[in-house]
Amino acid sequence: MENIIIGIFIIGYLAIALEHNLKLDKLIPALAMMAILWAIVSFGIDTFPTWFDSGAHQLIDGFSGFTSEEKQHLLEETLLHHLGKTAEILFFLLGAMTIVEIIDYFDGFSTFKNYIKTKRKKKLLWIFACLAFILSAIIDNLTATIVLITILQKIINDKNTRLWFAGLIIIAANAGGAWSPIGDVTTTMLWIANKVSAGALVKYLVLPSLICMVVPVFIASFLKPFQGEIKNSVTEDTATQSKYGSRMLYIGLGAIVFVPFFKTITHLPPYVGMMLSLSIVCVFAEIYSRYAFTIGQVFETENKESDSYHSPVHSSLSKIEMPSVLFFFGILMAVAALESLGILFIGAESLKTIIPNTDIVVMLLGVGSAIVDNVPLVAASIGMFQEPLDSPLWHFVAFSAGTGGSMLIIGSAAGVVAMGMEKIDFFWYFKNIAWLAAIGFIVGSIAFMGLRTLLN
């Protein structure tokens, strides 16, 4: 029965990895795999010899001697446990995504464009790389990539030049997301699962992540595509930005940054702080929208017809990327099925026997995240390794999974969205950008190992 479960997981995994070849949205195999796996677990509950207690992080003694009713009850409790842990991640992401959409509703991200005045390609490269590194740590690497490529399209007209810039933005955004608990989905997963704390994550990873970004950008700055000046820039937009755009940008970013502090002070799960931040941002959005979006004048809409006012909160919620949320739900619950049967725990013990050096295992995890999605890899690692909070292993997992995906265009959410926005060819990226990303990954990993030795 375990072989059947592993086989279904591998088939679902391949369907996710080959999303672009199959032209099948990855949420479909993720949801199907999750439902089928748990159905098989339920049907064959009496045949499984082991069961993993996720709360105690160990196999349950004497599970094979339990009655059918006891096993079924344990199955229901385990399913609810994993549903609750998954919901924590999903509601956290929903809150963050809504705040970002509210900022965009007020065109707040155009504030960054106003600070970009130079036409020198090399200087522009460093500006975009630094923005990607910092912004991704605050609003996550996926959103930072969308924002910066949108700005890029308004500044650079030449398609080939934009492709090179987009490639380096992917590397910088993934590096920036790795050192922040809210910068990447996988890092957020580790943070919410109490594998890493915000302070220790920054302490261990900010320098390796910075090196992972700086080295490729430094090398790229000497390449031909980044020499000279931009000759044909895009004509400036004539649309008027909301006068509250900058204010909403700072409020929104501040609200997201507030979440780790809220968790540290209250010891409550991060999604609670994110919901508080979202409510505060929503209050300001509703207040400002009554002035910023009236018809013909800048007075409150109290005396206007109700259909002349559109809530920025409702508008932002309608733009949430629900397919991504459902994908995370499907893949996390599917991995939870393997974890509950003890398959991941037993697999980890076997892996440690074959490859005793965990650094090599984690670096292979980073390479693997470039080939397949890093979310299931990190979800699997959470079930495989039992190291305590803030063990250097977890920080290395966060770094490898976050930055390793840059080596292929399909290896990260940032790469996939850039691929869609700029129609980047897989082989073009592999030929021109992958080697830069690989160099960054390797030097960043070496920097982490050196820093780990110093700090320990």
Provide the mean pLDDT of the chain.
Answer: 84
Backbone angles phi, psi at 59, to 5 degrees: -70, 145
pLDDT for 127 equals: 93
Please give the distance of CA 182 from its chain centroid, rounded to a whole number. 8
pLDDT for 366 equals: 87
Q: Is the pLDDT of residue 153 over 70?
A: yes
Please give the distance of CA 313 from its chain centroid, rounded to a whole number. 23
Nearest to 256 by CA among 396, 361, 101: 101
Could you count the other beta carbons within 10 Å of the beta carbon of residue 74?
A: 17
d(CA 30, CA 18): 12
Instruction: Say how many domains are in the chain.
Output: 1
Segment 109-131 shows an average pLDDT of 86
Q: Is the pLDDT of residue 4 over 80?
A: yes
d(CA 78, CA 15): 27
Contacts 24+ apart (CB under 8 A), 391-396: 391/195, 392/204, 392/452, 392/456, 393/358, 393/362, 394/190, 394/195, 394/196, 395/196, 395/200, 395/201, 395/204, 395/205, 395/448, 395/452, 396/359, 396/362, 396/445, 396/448, 396/452
Residue 6 falls inside a structural domain: no
First to last CA, the chain: 44
* Reported confidence tier of residue 303, pLDDT bands at 50, 70, 90: very low
The first and second tokens of residue 275, run together, are 């919901």
Most confident of 148-152, 318-322, 375-379: 148-152
pLDDT for 235 equals: 47
Segment 423-434 shows an average pLDDT of 88
CB 336 within 8 A of CB 35: no
Q: Which amino acid is at 5?
A: I
Q: Is the pLDDT of residue 241 over 70?
A: no
Q: Is the pLDDT of residue 418 over 60?
A: yes
Domain membership of residue 121 as a residue range: 87-456
d(CA 338, CA 37): 8
Q: Is the pLDDT of residue 296 over 70?
A: no
Segment 338-361 shows an average pLDDT of 79
* Reported confidence tier of residue 157, pLDDT bands at 50, 70, 90: confident
Share of the chain above pLDDT 90, in %: 31
CB 444 within 8 A of CB 175: yes
Q: Is the pLDDT of residue 214 over 80?
A: yes
Segment 246-254 shows an average pLDDT of 89
Segment 291-314 shows an average pLDDT of 53
Selected residue with higher pLDDT from 447 and 419? 447
* Reported confidence tier of residue 373, pLDDT bands at 50, 70, 90: low
Segment 394-401 shows an average pLDDT of 93
* Reported confidence tier of residue 368, pLDDT bands at 50, 70, 90: confident
Query: Who's near 216: CB < 8 A, 6+ residues apart?
Result: 168, 171, 436, 437, 439, 440
pLDDT for 346 equals: 74
Tens of pLDDT, residues 31-90: 999 999 999 999 988 888 888 877 666 778 888 888 888 889 889 999 998 899 889 888
Residue 209 falls inside a structural domain: yes
pTM of the model: 0.75
* Reported confidence tier of residue 372, pLDDT bands at 50, 70, 90: low
pLDDT for 213 equals: 96
Share of the chain above pLDDT 70, in %: 92
Tens of pLDDT, residues 260-294: 889 889 988 889 999 999 999 999 998 888 765 44
Could you count the other beta carbons within 10 Å of the beta carbon of residue 89?
A: 24
pLDDT for 299 equals: 42
Query: Who's near 346: CB < 8 A, 6+ residues apart?
Result: 50
Lowest mean pLDDT of 188-192, 226-230, 339-343, name the range.
339-343
Checking phi first, is residue 423 left (phi over 0); if not, alpha (psi -120 to 50) or beta? Answer: left
Residue 417 falls inside a structural domain: yes
pLDDT for 149 equals: 87
Query: Who's near 278: CB < 8 A, 6+ residues apart?
Result: 95, 98, 99, 255
